[in-house]
Amino acid sequence: MVAARKCIAGSAAAVQLLEAMHPGGYWLQTNPRTLKTVGDGVEYGSFGTTHFCLAYLAELGLDRTHPKVELAAERYLGLQQRDGDWYKHLSCLYGYNIRTFIMLGYGTDPRLEPSIRLLEESARADGGYLCDLHGASTSGRRTRSCIRGSLKALAAFAELGHAYWNHPSCLELVQYFLERGGIYKRRKPQEPVNKDVQTMMFPFHWRASLVEVLFYLSKMGQGKDPRLDRAWTLLGSKVDREGRYILERTPTQSAWKVGKCGSANKWMTLYALLALKAAGRNVRIWR
């Protein structure tokens, strides 16, 4: 997959993202309703501010060896708090960022260590993750973990590699997903957790998409678990006659335009096939 990324590092999408970067090393976005502009700090907008753009560039094959990427990455790393957090202990943010920085070549950078410790130490009793924003209440529904934040934590562990996969928090998080068949409610196993998890969505962001769940679990050696069979069957319904997977959702305000919804998409196809390959499952499961 690294080779696939490298071959598109000079793509028009990468060039466009880099050209849109502020000379100071960040991306700004203005909310059309509130007219508030964010992006130079830890607050972020709708899929076009700094931490999203860094993730998109990492997907496109760029890393810290590119001067503009290094400028933006170094600046954003400098916004960390002492405990490795960026904003309100959002696991959908710091988990996402950990994955991004590893992909950008910062995996052994000591500045990433506090964020990794935060990841290891923030798992909840049910094995998942929940941020300060939604965890203020100590009773009722809010006590349960968030599937979106939990998936980004899983993404971080998957990218961290084997050395972290036996950490208790990682093992519990994997079970958190396996016990729900990847995408279903624990108490109502016939119902998906939400609409996100049924959907083929790209670029990856804070929502939780079907292909992500299966890709991360498969990368960590869990893809053959029979509890995931229904989720794999659902993935098999998302493909056309030529074996290309369909993009069903993409953020309209994303700074990276990846294709038309309802059409075959190279990114969805790439990740679906990578997930199937990692799981050792038959790639020709489409109808």
> What's the pLDDT tens digit per position in 197-250?
999 999 999 999 999 999 999 999 999 999 999 999 999 999 999 999 999 999
pLDDT value of residue 140: 45
Query: How high is the mean pLDDT of the chain?
Result: 93
> Taking the chain, what is the end-to-end CA distance rounded to the nearest angstrom?
26
**b or e along 58-69 (b: 16 or more beta carbons within 10 Å of the residue's beta carbon)?**
bbbbbbbebeeb
Q: Which residues of 200-222 are buried (b: 16+ CB within 10 A; e: fewer)?
A: bbbbbbbbbbbbbbbbbbbbbeb
Predicted confidence (pLDDT) per residue in 35-53, tens digit: 999 999 999 999 999 999 9
pLDDT digits 0-9 by tens, 80-138: 999 999 999 999 999 999 999 999 999 999 999 999 999 999 999 999 999 887 765 44
CA–CA separation, 52 and 250 (whole Å)? 13
Q: At what angle do helices 168-178 and 210-219 cross, to 10 degrees?
A: 130
List Cα–Cα distances, 217 to 17, 118, 211, 212, 276, in angstroms.
30, 21, 10, 8, 11
CA pair distance 10, 67, nearest whole angstrom: 14
Per residue in 248-272, pLDDT (tens digit) is 999 999 999 999 999 999 999 999 9
- Per residue in 132-161, pLDDT (tens digit) is 877 654 444 456 899 999 999 999 999 999
Return all residues near 14 (Cβ < 8 A) that are at least 6 apart. Answer: 8, 57, 60, 61, 62
The yes-or-no verdict on residue 3 having pLDDT over 80 is no
Q: pTM of the predicted model, to two decimals?
A: 0.93
CB-based contacts of 18: which residues, under 8 Å, 6+ apart? Answer: 57, 66, 68, 69
Query: What residue type is 160 in one-letter code?
Result: L
**Residue 37: in which H helix or E strand, if any?**
strand 37-38
Q: What three-state secondary structure class fits 226? A: helix
Residue 132: per-residue pLDDT: 84
